[in-house]
Chains A and B, each alone.
Chain A
Amino acid sequence: MIRFTLNDKAAEVEAESDTPLLWVLRDILQLTGTKFGCGMAQCGACTVHLDGQAIRSCVMPISAIEGKSVKTIEGLKPDSNHPVQQAWIEHNVPQCGYCQSGQIMSAVALLEQNPDPDDEAIDNFMQGNICRCGTYPRIKAAIKTAAKSLNTTSNNKFNYELATNVGENV
């Protein structure tokens, strides 16, 4: 039995210790928002947060999760009210949508580390997330919009929430 925190709630699962977190989420916990794209940390479709850091859940064995905190797209803001989700809506980013859970989780992690990333910082952080439909220009624009919104939101509603999240995860 492996115990961890999932989207701010206690979770426990019975799974072979080498099972990647991705398949625990998808098959056992039935949280299918986290996607399978490559199985070898090449595409980023399976990106989730582990203790606040973006990781590829397809190569993270469940045994390494014990006692840690996992956040998936379902735990971000179910009402889609996170500034990054809102920016994605504003820019009409997705085409097929399949990679977007991973893109959004990466973008949120980027902005938590670097609230005002320039093009190079966005490229560097986001290049682990493939989008076959080619939504990169809009993802980049949305990240900039989200950054602006996070930095200018009158005081601190979003900053406060982010700080809370980070605090909980650490």
Chain B
Amino acid sequence: MKTPTDLKNVSRRDFLKYTGVASTGLVLGMAVPTQTVWAATESKSNELNLFVSIEQDSTVNIVCHRSEMGQGIRTGIPQIVAEELCADWSKVNVVQGLANAAYGSQNTDGSRSIRNFYTAMRQMGASARTMLESAGAKFWKVSVDKVYAENGFVVNKTTNQKLSFGYLAELASKIPAPNLDKLTFKKPENFNIIGKPVPIVDLPKMVNGTTEFGQDVLVEGMVYASIERSPVIGAKVKSVYKDDALKVKGVIDIVVMPEQSFPVVFKPLNGVAVIATNTWAALKGRKALKVEWDLGENKKHDSEQYLAELSNSIVTKGKVVRKVGDAYQALEQAKHKISGTYTVPYLVHAPMEPPAATAVVNDDGCEIWACTQAPQGAQQTVAGVLGLKPEQVKVNITLLGGGFGRKSKHDFSAEAAILAKHTAKPVKVIWSREDDIKSGYYHSISVQHYEAGLTDSKSVSAWIQRTAFPSIIWTFNDQVNEPSDMELGLGFGDMPFTIDNLLCEKHQAPAHLRIGWLRSVCNIQHGFALGSFVDEVAIKSGKSTQQMWLELLGEDKKLDVKTQGFDYKNYDMPIEDYPIDIARLKNVLNLVVEKANVNQATLENEAWGISVHRSFLSYVAVATKVSVIDGQVKVLEMVNVIDAGRIINPDRVKSQMEGAMIFGLSIALMGQIDVKNGTVVQSNYHDYPILRMHQSPEIQSFIVESDELAAGVGEPGVPPVAASLCNAIFKASGKRIRDLPINKHFRV
């Protein structure tokens, strides 16, 4: 990995430019042209990077350039900076960075904020600390080795005198920034902010209702918009009857959105906007609107029929993704055979806060406030639809009321910009829950088929697995009609088994809806299918699920799937840094069995199920205990173990794991989007249910203590949930569920 080599001071004006905050104190800005932070997507720039400023009262402003959606990043990123800065955490003020390529990637998805920025953030803190120490040494006219920084002060070793960061900031800001290779870092055993369960910085405001989300933005003179969008992807507005809508008190204008073509990308959907003086009038006006559509080809799409078609094709030979030996021949010769086909329907994000964006357009450009996971993407998309340069678009990032991947898409920001330009007023576009459920970027509908052959002695001699689902890539290139290597690298082509005859294949699956990424993405279906099939093979072999996993995983090693023909992306990280480490996978599996006491006898109608999965470079095992009585499944307990390498905030890791269990349960128990005549059937929480408190089990989360490189946390808890649950249901009831969701078979 390349490391940065140069640091520069930046001015107060730069701080204002990047954060929108006019610092009254002294800017101790760190500017770092770095390779590390550019490794991720979006930015090719080598401009300034800037994260720290210190006020005269010793307030330490630390920029968080990533979006907060519940994962705790507005606390995690500053923890890293503050640690190396030797700051007093109680003096830290977190400033949300605006969209700016200078920060490197701000695309907050893929569970990568910590792993991509851990080193860079330590450098930010350490360089600021070095400058403060130099300032202290200068003040006392001693050499720099005679001073040290501690808890917001620089201390004179000889005299024990202390000077506050605030007092030294001006002097420090005049000192040239140190070379990166001169920086020293704290030893992990001396950490007192990293690795600690620091409460989230937004907590006090979250409990008194004063935080600002995208839906909450208020701008002087603002009007409100609600948009009737195409019911079928590709449908075009044929005619609009506006009169009744215009009669609704408060409705100002009806605007036909500019017509868009394929690929859908992040463009707004075709539609008709109702603009009003308040949200309610906009919603009422929209109900009174009559739009006639030219529906187009996708009106033929029917998800039930589509799934049946994929289920038929998936049992036939597909296109090879990864291959060892001759699995077909070995299967032919196997003494025992077992197979299973697993399906997962379309799913949608349904964050508590439906998407929302507010825009103002004037001669200079556009300013936007949005609950976006990817501010620079929003900037580029908005610039594109308005014909501006990206730097003419200022993107303010609010808190996100949940994201889960939905708010990485910029259609709602583009809508606000288009309407603000049209009306020449500030416009807030409000998505309703119905808009969110019916006009999403859906998690793909999918089919997985697994076959295994066993020898006389019940060891696995052949393994064939296939998958088919419409690709996310179609959203960006409508010629694509099969899963991409990126998606196959999410729990399919990277499956961790060592088997003499192993074959992974894919099938085509054309897309008919906007396809997007949803928390843990294709790991959802691949984790479900693999974890379920291992359980089925275990039962056929007369082994425990844990034994079966251990046998299939084989000896401890770093698995290289590239030599088996699969072009594995490894979440965009070098495989040398983040190998597929079989020992770590086995460790979390063994730990979850022990912690949950899975092998202990349960009551009748109750059982434990387990599964384990590596995703986003982390290792997670889940044990789920259910009861199945009179056709009712109740999830009683869940125990999970995560090995995510170095942890910044254990409390937020646990909260993410609790959330991932519940997110996974919503998917497995009840998650289903149906499509009829090209149109999504579900519309709100009554028919797209989310787990509620009475369905929520007791959850225990364990973190493996580790000095390995930091890996993902937000997503990797989700994939093992469905399999652990279905395995438990099988043990409790004898019913194997291969087609999610579970509520097709049981009350939940």
Contact = CB atoms under 8 A, between A and B. Distances in A.
Contacts of B72: 95
Q: Is the interface of A mostly helix, strand, loop or mixed?
A: loop
Given A35-B353, A89-B199, A137-B698, A123 B279 contact: no
A104 B207 contact: yes
A168 interface: no
A35 B400 CA distance: 13
Interface in B170-218: 197, 199-200, 202-204, 206-213, 215-216, 218
Contact of B401 (A38, A74, A98): A98
B685 interface: yes
Given A16-B281, A32-B212, A137-B658, A99 B352 contact: yes
A89 B207 CA distance: 8
A94 B206 contact: yes
Contact of B693 (A15, A19, A127): A127
Interface residues of B, number: 65
B433 A38 contact: yes
Interface in A110-143: 122-124, 126-140
B141 interface: no
B473 interface: no
A27 B224 contact: yes
A133 B659 contact: yes
Contact of A80 (B207, B278, B281, B684): B207
A69 interface: no
B2 interface: no
Nearest to B281: A16
Nearest to A131: B352
Contacts, number: 189
Contacts of B215: 32, 35-36
Interface string B576-595: 00000000000000000000
B692 A97 contact: no
A76 interface: yes
Nearest to A95: B70
B658 A132 contact: no
A97 B70 contact: yes
Nearest to A124: B694
B455 interface: no
A141 to B, nearest CB: 11
Contacts of A30: 218
A73 B209 contact: yes
A85 B207 CA distance: 6
B648 interface: no
B662 A16 contact: no
Given A98-B401, A135-B658, A23 B209 contact: no
A34 B209 CA distance: 7
Contacts of A136: 662, 691-693, 696
24 contacts: A15-B278, A30-B218, A31-B209, A32-B212, A33-B208, A35-B401, A37-B353, A42-B685, A73-B208, A74-B209, A74-B210, A78-B208, A85-B208, A88-B206, A89-B204, A94-B200, A96-B403, A98-B351, A100-B206, A130-B685, A133-B402, A134-B659, A134-B661, A139-B693
B354 interface: yes
A81 to B, nearest CB: 9
B422 interface: no
A77 interface: yes
A39 to B, nearest CB: 6
A77 B279 contact: no
